Amino acid sequence: MKSFTEEKIFSEKRCEEVKKMPEIKCSVTECVYNKDVKCGAPMIQVDHNGVSDAKNSDQTKCDTFKRS
């Protein structure tokens, strides 16, 4: 079990991580994380989309998408 100090340090680090997340505009409003045409997920995973060497944005995708 974590001590109060350890718990405080952990939660401060977690807050810093969340603050680092940039604002992401996203028009995929059917995603559970979308709020007011912006991404509200604490972190997202973007991956290749059917290719191993992306040449344009069509060849990338948001893996974090989850249907609401």
Query: What tokens were used for 32?
Result: 């559970």
Determine phi and psi for 46, rounding to 5 degrees: -110, 135
Q: Which is nearer to ligand SF4, 44 or 54 (CB)?
A: 44
Interface with ligand SF4 includes 54 (CB under 6 A)? no
Q: Are 29 and 65 in contact (CB under 8 A)?
A: no
- The one segment of 4-12, 13-21, 39-47, 51-59 that binds ligand SF4 by CB under 6 A: 39-47
Neighbours of 24 (CB within 10 A): 14
* Residue ranges in contact with ligand SF4 by CB under 6 A: 24, 26, 28, 31, 33-34, 39, 41, 44, 62, 64-65
